[in-house]
Amino acid sequence: AQTVTQSQPEMSVQEAETVTLSCTYDTSESNYYLFWYKQPPSRQMILVIRQEAYKQQNATENRFSVNFQKAAKSFSLKISDSQLGDTAMYFCAFKNRDDKIIFGKGTRLHILP
């Protein structure tokens, strides 16, 4: 069974700093997608970034980028120039051909003014 592990339950950083959230996963599949979702205090789930396993190039969306290490089954999220609005719970997630997304337990990120 696939699993997603986020080893950092909670983190705090100063505004404008860069922060990296860790995620590891376990699968025997070769083709899959990885996602980072953001859940702000409003509780809405928002897709931040996605990465296809077959693509070696790391995905980037504005201030958000990933470090995808397929052999190590690692998928970390880097937030540059962090803003107060980045304060949220961040979930790493995995999806394979079963079309079911499996989420990690999340990392609560606090951006401090």
Partner 1 sequence: DSGVTQTPKHLITATGQRVTLRCSPRSGDLSVYWYQQSLDQGLQFLIQYYNGEERAKGNILERFSAQQFPDLHSELNLSSLELGDSALYFCASSPQGTSLGYGYTFGSGTRLTVV
Among the listed residues 16, 47, 84, 112, the single contact to partner 1 using CB under 8 A = 47
Parallel, antiparallel, or unpaired for β 107-112 and 10-14? parallel
Say if residue 96 is exposed, middle or buried (CB neighbours under 10 Å; 0-12, 13-18, 19+).
middle
Question: Is there binding between residue 110 and partner 1 (CB under 8 A)?
Answer: no
C-alpha pair distances (Å), 74 with each of 3, 32, 77, 105: 12, 13, 10, 16
Looking at beta carbons only, is 48 or 111 nearer to partner 1? 48
Considering the complex, state which of residue 30 and residue 113 has its C-beta at the smaller distance from partner 1. Answer: 30
Among 33, 64, 70, 78, binds partner 1 (CB under 8 A): 33
Q: Where does this chain bind partner 1 (CB under 8 A)?
A: 31-33, 35, 37, 42-47, 50, 52, 91, 93, 95-106
